[in-house]
């Protein structure tokens, strides 16, 4: 039986470029471009699900676990929106960068170097973010099972990843890594991409029922991401725990 979701090769890959997390023109430039649409999507869906007030800090008292948080690109905006954020990452270098950046910005975020199955925490979370992480783990089934144990009943889990299609191979690997050089070569492995139907059936086994699945599309002319009906490359799924 598997008891570890850490893929050492993947961790080393991201640890090497950890110092670049907060450089909008560095190795994580595509993620900086992707971030605004991720933030608004998560915020709107949390507000709708938990029927929250649209205030300046609408996510007040919502306990969020950001898994594979990297340097904190998503943890920090969630904290600014009022949420109580815990960010975990299997790379110690990523966590050090995240801690330093949060401290510099006077943000109270609980950063821990851990994977979900090793997280020693007793409380359950209202929201779990699995953004662009499932395509980098060792065992998707075991990873999602471990994550689901950390989510409270009626809690929400967001999973953003890449579909396993010919189009995703052309766009996300050939296009983004080799042609446009948006990402370092070797960032993604097509074999690790997950089809929405496969993700939905894995989650169902963990009492997580799909609420919605949306595509995410990049417009090269406007240089912006938007929510789309096209799920053939990037997509984001929202699950609610039974």
Q: For residue 41, is it within any domain?
A: yes
pLDDT at position 48: 96
Q: For residue 231, is it within any domain?
A: yes
Burial (CB < 10 A; 0-12, 13-18, 19+), residue 179, is: exposed
Average pLDDT, the chain: 92
Q: What is the number of helices (H) and of strands (E) in the chain?
A: 7, 8
What is the number of domains present in the chain? 1
Q: pLDDT of 101-117, one tens digit each?
A: 999 999 999 999 999 99
Vertex 230 angle, CA 154 and 13, to 5°? 75
Q: For residue 3, is it within any domain?
A: no
Q: For residue 75, is it within any domain?
A: yes
pTM for this model (two decimals): 0.92
Q: For residue 2, is it within any domain?
A: no
Q: For residue 103, is it within any domain?
A: yes
Q: How many CB atoms lie within 10 A of CB 164?
A: 16
Q: Which CATH number is 46's domain given?
A: 3.40.50.150
- Both tokens of 12, joined, read 């080393």
Residue range of the domain that includes 135: 8-241
Q: For residue 121, is it within any domain?
A: yes
Compute the distance between CA of residue 163 and CA of residue 154 in angstroms, rounded to an integer.
Answer: 26
Q: Which of 76-90, 143-157, 170-184 has the lowest mean pLDDT?
A: 170-184
Instruction: Report whether 154 contacts 238 (CB < 8 A).
Output: no
pLDDT at 94 over 90: yes
Q: For residue 223, is it within any domain?
A: yes
pLDDT at 62 over 60: yes
Burial (CB < 10 A; 0-12, 13-18, 19+), residue 126, is: buried
Instruction: Report whether 24 contacts 48 (CB < 8 A).
Output: no
């Amino acid at each position: 039986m598997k008891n570890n979701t850490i893929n050492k090769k993947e961790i080393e890959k991201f640890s090497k470029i950890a110092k670049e997390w907060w450089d909008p023109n560095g190795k994580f430039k595509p993620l900086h471009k992707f971030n605004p649409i991720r933030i608004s999507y998560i915020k709107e869906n949390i507000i709708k699900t938990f029927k929250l007030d649209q205030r300046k800090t609408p996510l007040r008292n919502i306990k969020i676990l950001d898994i594979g948080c990297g340097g904190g690109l998503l943890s920090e905006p969630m904290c600014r929106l009022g949420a109580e954020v815990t960010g975990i990452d299997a790379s110690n270098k990523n966590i050090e960068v995240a801690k330093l950046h949060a401290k510099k910005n006077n943000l109270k975020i609980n950063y821990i170097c851990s994977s979900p199955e090793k997280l020693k925490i007793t409380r359950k979370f209202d929201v779990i973010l699995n953004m662009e992480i499932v395509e980098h783990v060792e065992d998707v089934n075991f990873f999602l099972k471990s994550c689901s144990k950390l989510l409270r009943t009626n809690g929400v889990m967001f999973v953003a990843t890449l579909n396993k299609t010919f189009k995703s191979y052309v766009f996300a690997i050939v296009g983004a890594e080799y042609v446009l050089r948006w990402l370092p070569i070797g960032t993604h492995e097509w074999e690790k991409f997950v089809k929405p139907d496969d993700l939905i059936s894995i989650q169902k086994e963990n009492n997580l029922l799909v609420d919605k699945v949306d595509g995410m599309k990049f417009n090269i002319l406007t240089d912006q991401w938007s929510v789309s009906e096209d799920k053939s490359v990037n997509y984001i799924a929202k699950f609610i725990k039974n």
